[in-house]
């Protein structure tokens, strides 16, 4: 029999945890298994959240809840201590360090030649017959089962502005904030955690010291840093909604409705930190799956329609036997599905299903050319 294969599309924490749990299970059960982990940005095991290199971008979850394995709460803590980081369970680690942890755990799960992991940097654009992943560069990845681990969609666009060199459409894109820091005013749209990260990144670099000095109290320290920026007038929070944004001589002119008063703001930079868009049809790959009838949006249009255990539903509502999803894509089905404690449980539950599906499909079919 040929080696069963699984393709995981999306190399963030969801994709990496799927590969980790699948490879570990294949090893303990003595099952050969080839896993391909595809990521369009080459951010394998990092994804959007853990690709940051900024040391004051911290996890918002305690270290003892961020292990890659449900039943091993000390796994991350032990790894961190072995890496020379003094942290206890209630501490908040830098996200970059967590990305390094996931990368190392993924590497440790590889077991070639019986259970190789192929890291491919490419964009998936379509699925042929539910299981051959077509890539934007013309290549194809054949697999007995496919997992969609695409994470969050980019934020919804700002009205009136499609592109501008000083408009940051997605603050999580690699190098997106690099140009900011030239002294020009920055308008951040949104006041959630993304805004906090952006504010800490683009203002006072000495905030980074908070990690070294107060690492066990980082979230309060981050909050204190934000309060400090506000007290000194370096950060202002405005309540209102953006009406439109237009290019102006030295940046952008933004029209906003501030509590009923139309106000024009001249800014050097505009950062879209409004959070992910829920609309899966804005993603070209997912739109292709939906057009082909292979998948459909969930009734609340928060993600893809799927069974609670992640089998993707087709246009007629039939669960696929070989196409699965996990992580933020399941928001419409599970809602609480975006944090590592939830994702690792989904990955662990999916692994035996993937072993079974891929093994039985490989036994029934010849290699696909």
Ligand X SMILES: Cc1cc2nc3c(=O)[nH]c(=O)nc-3n(C[C@H](O)[C@H](O)[C@H](O)COP(=O)(O)OP(=O)(O)OC[C@H]3O[C@@H](n4cnc5c(N)ncnc54)[C@H](O)[C@@H]3O)c2cc1C
Among positions 5, 8, 26, 47, the unique one binding ligand X when judged by CB under 6 A = 47
**Total Cβ atoms within 10 A of residue 249:** 7
- What is the spatial distance between Cα 55 and Cα 120, in angstroms, rounded to a whole number? 27
Lookup result for tokens 């928001």 = 331
Confirm or reject binding of residue 149 to ligand X (CB under 6 A).
yes
Side-chain half-sphere exposure of 224, counting CA atoms within 13 A: 11
- Residue placing its CB nearer to ligand X in the complex, 12 or 251: 12
- Residue placing its CB nearer to ligand X in the complex, 35 or 150: 150
- Altogether, the residues listed in the chain come to a count of 369
Cα torsion through 179, 182, 187, 191, rounded to 10: 70
Confirm or reject binding of residue 327 to ligand X (CB under 6 A).
yes
- What is the spatial distance between Cα 366 and Cα 346, in angstroms, rounded to a whole number? 30
If residue 251 lies in a helix (H) or strand (E), which one and from where to where?
Answer: strand 251-258
User: In the window 81-100, what residues touch ligand X (CB under 6 A)?
Assistant: none
Lookup result for tokens 């370096």 = 234
User: In the window 190-209, what residues touch ligand X (CB under 6 A)?
Assistant: 197
- Residue placing its CB nearer to ligand X in the complex, 251 or 328: 328
Parallel, antiparallel, or unpaired: how do β-strands 319-325 and 311-313 relate? antiparallel
Helix axes 95-109, 75-82, angle to 10 degrees: 100
Among positions 5, 8, 11, 87, the unique one binding ligand X when judged by CB under 6 A = 11
Among positions 25, 26, 59, 242, the unique one binding ligand X when judged by CB under 6 A = 59
Among positions 4, 99, 151, 332, the unique one binding ligand X when judged by CB under 6 A = 151
Query: With CB under 6 A as the contact rule, which of the stretches 7-15, 183-191, 238-246, 257-265 interacts with ligand X?
Result: 7-15
Which residues, in sequence order, are CB contacts of 171 under 8 Å at separation 6+? Answer: 177, 194, 197, 198, 271, 272, 273
- Residue placing its CB nearer to ligand X in the complex, 37 or 186: 37
Among positions 6, 7, 9, 19, the unique one binding ligand X when judged by CB under 6 A = 9
Convert 118-147 to b/e letters by CB count within 10 Å (16 or more is b). Answer: ebbebebbbbeebbebbbeeeeebbbbbbb
Query: With CB under 6 A as the contact rule, which of the stretches 143-151, 218-226, 238-246, 351-359 interacts with ligand X?
Result: 143-151
If residue 243 lies in a helix (H) or strand (E), which one and from where to where?
Answer: strand 241-248
Site string for ligand X, 106-125 (x = CB under 6 A): -----------------xx-
Confirm or reject binding of residue 48 to ligand X (CB under 6 A).
yes
Number of residues near ligand X (by CB under 6 A): 31
Among positions 41, 75, 103, 164, the unique one binding ligand X when judged by CB under 6 A = 41
- Residue placing its CB nearer to ligand X in the complex, 26 or 46: 46
**Contact residues for ligand X, defined by CB under 6 A:** 9-15, 38-41, 43, 47-49, 59-61, 123-124, 149-152, 197, 285, 327-328, 338-340
């Amino acid at each position: 029999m040929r080696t069963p294969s699984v393709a995981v599309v999306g190399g963030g924490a969801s994709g990496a945890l799927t590969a980790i749990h699948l490879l570990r299970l294949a090893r303990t059960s003595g099952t050969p298994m080839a896993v391909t982990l595809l990521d369009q940005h080459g951010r394998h095991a990092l994804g959007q959240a853990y690709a940051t290199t900024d040391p004051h971008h911290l996890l918002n979850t305690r270290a003892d809840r961020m292990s890659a394995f449900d039943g091993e709460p000390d796994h991350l803590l032990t790894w961190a201590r072995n890496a020379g980081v003094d942290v206890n369970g209630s501490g908040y680690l830098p996200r970059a360090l967590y990305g390094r942890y996931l990368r190392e755990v993924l590497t440790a799960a590889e077991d070639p030649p019986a259970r190789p992991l192929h890291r491919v940097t490419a964009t998936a654009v379509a699925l042929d017959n539910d299981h051959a992943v077509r890539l934007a560069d013309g290549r194809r990845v054949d697999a007995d089962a496919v997992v969609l681990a695409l994470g969050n969609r980019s934020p919804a666009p700002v009205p009136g502005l499609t592109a501008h060199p000083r408009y940051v459409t997605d603050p999580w894109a690699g190098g997106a904030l690099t140009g900011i820091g030239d002294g020009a005013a920055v308008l951040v749209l949104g006041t959630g955690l993304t805004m906090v990260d952006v504010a800490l990144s683009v203002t006072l670099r000495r905030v980074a010291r908070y990690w070294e000095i107060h690492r066990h109290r980082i979230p309060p320290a981050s909050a204190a840093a934000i309060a400090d920026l506000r007290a000194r007038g370096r950060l202002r929070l405005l309540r209102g909604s953006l009406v439109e944004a237009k290019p102006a001589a030295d940046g952008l002119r933004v029209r906003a409705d501030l509590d009923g008063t139309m106000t024009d703001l001249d800014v050097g930079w505009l950062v879209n930190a409004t959070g992910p868009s829920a609309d899966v049809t804005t993603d070209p790959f997912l739109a292709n799956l939906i057009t082909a009838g292979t998948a459909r949006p969930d009734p609340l249009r928060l993600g893809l329609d799927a069974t609670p255990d992640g089998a993707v539903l087709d246009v007629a509502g039939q669960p696929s036997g070989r196409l699965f999803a996990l992580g933020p894509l399941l928001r419409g089905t599970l809602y609480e599905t975006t944090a590592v404690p939830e994702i690792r449980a989904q990955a662990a539950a999916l692994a035996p299903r993937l072993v079974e599906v891929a093994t039985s499909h490989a036994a029934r079919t010849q290699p696909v050319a």
